[in-house]
Structure formats: C-alpha cells, structure tokens
Chain A
Amino acid sequence: MASLLVSPAEQDYITRGVEKGIRCDGRSNLDRRQVTLRTDMISQANGSARCRTGDLGLGTDVLVGIKAEVNTWQPGEPEDQGSIVCSVECSPSAAQEFEGRGAEDLNVELTQLLDRILNGPQSGIDLQKLCIIPKQAYWGSIVDTLMWATRAALLSTKLPRVVVETISDENGDTQAEFDVVDDPEDVAPLEGADNLPITVTFNQIGKRYVLDASEQEEAITQAKITVAVSPKREICAVQKGGILQTAQRVSQEELKRFGRAVRGGQGRGGTGRCRGKHRLDIPQPVLIS
C-alpha cells in the first residue's frame, strides 16, 4: 500500500531488529506507541471521537462522526433492525499518495472491513441508520486506530428518544407512528455499544510479528492479520493481507506465542470508556488462541 522506499540495508536492519525484539524506535515487538483518544469532538453529530496513534502528536489520526438518520424500510431488508452505513475517507492532505484517486483502494478496503465488523451479529447493535465518516491524516497502524475511534464514537453516541404511538383509524386497523423528541437533553446511549470489538493487527516481518507497525515497518511487511475481538473475548472478524501467502503456518505459531505472552504478562485488555480528554491506557491486545 505505502509507496515508501526502503533500502535493502535498512530492510535488513529492521528485520534483524524485529527478530531480536529491538525495533528502530526502541520498542519491543509487542509495544505500542502512545494512543490519544478524545470523544465529543463534533457538536453536530450524535457521537464522535478522534483517535491518534503515535508519539509526540504525530502519527495516524482518525476522526469519526456518527449521525443517526431515520430511514424508511425497503422490501428485502431485515424487518426488525436498522443498519450502520460506513464510509471511510483518507484525506488527501495526509499523504501524497492519497492525492486524486490514490486513496480509493484503501477507502474501499477499510470501509468494507468496518462494515463487516459493525453489521455482523457480533456487534449487537440494532438501531437506526448510522453514518460514519472517518478521516485519517497519516500512516502506520491505521486499522486499529480506526476501530478504536469508531468504538469510542459509538460509545459516546447519544440518540434522541423516540415516542411510539399506536393510533387506530376508522377501519379499526392500528397503525404505529413515532415522534423523535427534539430535546438535546432527552437522549439515550447506543445500546450494545459496550460489546463492540476492537481490532489488533499483527505485521509479519521476517519470521516474527510486530504490533503497531511504524510507517517504515509497514512498508516492508510481508503479511498482516487483523483480528477483531469483543470484550467477551470472542473473535468477531479476521482479515488477512499482504503479499506472502505462505505465511499462514508461521502466523498460527506466532499468534499462539503472542497469546501466551499477552495472557501471561498483561492480563485483561483495557478498553475502558472515555469521557472528554483522556489519555487512554495503552489498549492491551486480548488474544484467544
């Protein structure tokens, strides 16, 4: 994806560093960069969040807005539930390769991933139509950041109360009508948002996997796997990517080893709620082997 050039000597340096567990910025393979999360950034939206992965105010930056819309039911749609419509856009001011139609592939890929995670039975949200427009401003570890921001935005989403009235007409048939209460105070949080999954992406470099790859590491990544995990430790979605297809066997072993390391060393993942400006505890990956 990234058009970043890396020389063979640099590639060798990074790969051997990852093998030894010392990455170019001193992190070990399982260390993340700083994650900053802010909710309620957009006043016009029902819910919003901005998440940044990276040190010193640089790095991947995702802004998510949630907009609730009342939709008329169309034949063929499930009768008792709404859906979440996702749209991911990469800002052309973020990187040169996003100029023009450059970001289209990435937009589609991320949109579909988000769509699959949110609209499956595992996300547990059955409400009205929601629209999500994230925007990103840099490179490296984008999927995880996107998912955190989306999760936080949905958690911060407050929907107006809806009053349903049953009226019987002259023929004696009953008809349901509803009113959306126009009071900004009279709102309720989105039900089931607590159960939203987060994603953990592993990038394979050499024979090892790293978490939260930097821009350079992403450029030399041979394969990557994204796992979406819910707070109940259920795997909700898995996405594989990259050029090295034969990496599957290695990935299984490595994932198991990481699962052990994470469970042994760090325990449960912290995916707490956020209000206002918070520095989120570095979300620990929750892994199930």
Chain B
Amino acid sequence: MDAGASNIISRIVTPGTLITSDNAYMRGHGTFAEHESIYSSVAGAVERVNKLISVRPLKQRYGGEIGDIVVGRITEVSSKRWRVDVNARQDGVLLLSSIILPGGIQRRKSESDELQMRSFFAEGDLVYAEVQSYFADGALSLHTRSVQYGKLRNGTMVAVFPQLVPRSRTHLHRLPCGVDVVLGVNGYIWISKHVSAAKVEANAEHMYSDQNELISDEERETIARVANCIRLLNRMYVKITETSINFAYESSLPHAVKDLLKTDIAQELADSVKAQLLQQA
C-alpha cells in the first residue's frame, strides 16, 4: 500500500469531507463524487477495498439479509399480513401464511383465521422472526414458522445500534445467570426469564397468549442488570454478543443495578469488557 492509500483509510469523516481527489479510486457506499473528487456523504469510518472507497456509517438503519434473526414490533394489522417495525428503512411484512397457526404446523389456514388475525398478533406485540425474502420494493418478508419463533413474553426490550449485533449461528442465548436473550440482528434485543423449550412445546396452544409467567424479584433484578449491561455496551459502542454480555454481567456484579448507567461506572465496565474481549482474541 502506498502512502496516499494509507491516508485514505482508518479515518473518521463527516458528511462533505474530501476523502481523495485521486481519480484512480472508485466511489462506494456512503460517498459521492464531485469535481473528480470523492466526498463522504455520511459520518463514519473510511474503508478501502482495492480501488473501491466506501464509508461505513457510525449510525445506520438495519439493512436486512435473508436468514437474519430479528425482533420486530407489529405496527399495523391489514389484510392477510402484519406490518412489522424492524428498525429498517421501511416496515417489514409478516404474511398470515408465514406463521404457525395454533393447532399444529400441518394445519391449513381458513377464512376464520383471516378474521381473527388480531388474536395472533396485535399492534404493539413483539415477534421473534426470521427474514424469509425481500419484496420488490425492498421491504423484508418475515416468517415465524418454527416453534422457537413467535410472540415474545416475560421480559423487556432494549434497542441498540444494529451494526453492534453481529450475525451468528444462534441468536437465542441462555446466559449463565439464568436469563434468555434474543439478539435481533436489527438491533432489537429481547431479555426475558428463561422458559425451557420443552415447556414451550407443551404449551403450543398458548403460543399467542399475552399472559406472562410469574417472575420473581431476583429474576427481575437479573433481567434489569442484563438490560443495563446491554444499554451501556451500546452506548460505549462495544459489540454485543453473548460473550460481551457475559463479561459485562460478571464485572457489573459489585455494583447495584441502578448504578450501572452512571457515566464513570459505565465507562469502567466497558473498558473492562473491551480488555477481556482483547485477551480472549
């Protein structure tokens, strides 16, 4: 790499910053060309792949990919479909044909199902779903055709930057502290009391119920602690994975839950998580 190229990458730029006036480069995402120079159109880090220059934004909306595990919130019930807020540029769509109807996977949908769509998902409900495909206009089509997907209960949601949640093999984690987290790739994270898979399968008829289980005070404290750990990791711009949450949780134990978001404690915890992640790598 020549000296000019090293000037280009590993720089933080704001919209309108001149990245290079060398016309040997091509412009990629997050840039625009004017007067044969390349400028940044977003605030973020400059990246270069051979001759292609792009800027990775610090803050962005979720751009979906097929197979992603997401957490979404129903915003609208319309004919044969739900609109779902997935933190993307436009709402995703969950078709009535892409959910499991109560009474078994094999059941076919009937007209009465169309009339009682709100008894499955109503406005405001949170769903755990997978991206099935794209529509022509770029909207995401979701599906919940698996027993582990569906309505979320027994917990609380935290919204984080989507770019901090990496894609991985599993997104439903049971943490050692006894709490379940669903790391939606779209930046919506669900933290809830652990309910065993066997119990979920046994209660298949209640899969669309709004009824929470009994949650003890200790479980509430633990959920709040995990939620605050995720909030502070997000604020300090640390990748949010099962490992980083566990590190943050372990380091946070000496502090009271409500103190975790105090600036100095949050900084200290984030630094310790970063150090532990580096050590592991």
- Where the two chains meet, the residues of A that have a C-beta atom closer than 8 Å to any C-beta of B are 5-10, 12-14, 16-17, 20, 22-28, 31, 33-34, 55-58
Contact = CB atoms under 8 A, between A and B. Distances in A.
A57 B232 CA distance: 11
A13 B225 contact: no
Contacts of B154: 9, 13
A5 B83 CA distance: 13
A56 B235 contact: yes
Contacts of A25: 224, 227-228, 231, 257-258, 261
Given A10-B156, A25-B227, A55-B266, 10 more contacts: A7-B126, A8-B122, A10-B126, A13-B215, A22-B220, A24-B227, A25-B228, A26-B257, A33-B261, A55-B263
B155 interface: yes
A16 B153 CA distance: 13
B151 interface: yes
Contacts of B224: 22-26
A8 B210 contact: yes
A31 B123 contact: no
6 contacts: A8-B125, A13-B154, A13-B212, A13-B215, A25-B261, A26-B227
Interface of B: 73-75, 85, 122-126, 151-157, 210-212, 215, 217, 220-221, 224-225, 227-228, 231-232, 235, 256-258, 260-263, 266
Contacts of B217: 20, 22
A25 B126 CA distance: 19
Contact of A9 (B153, B228, B263): B153
Contacts of A14: 156
A56 B125 contact: no
A5 B220 contact: no
Contact of A7 (B210, B235, B257): B210
B235 A9 contact: no
Contact of B215 (A7, A10, A16, A28): A16
Most buried by A among B74, B156, B211, B231: B156
A23 B122 CA distance: 25
B262 A55 contact: yes
A275 B153 CA distance: 47
A6 B221 CA distance: 21
B228 A26 contact: yes
Nearest to B224: A26
Nearest to B193: A13
B126 A13 contact: no
A109 to B, nearest CB: 25
A28 B256 CA distance: 11
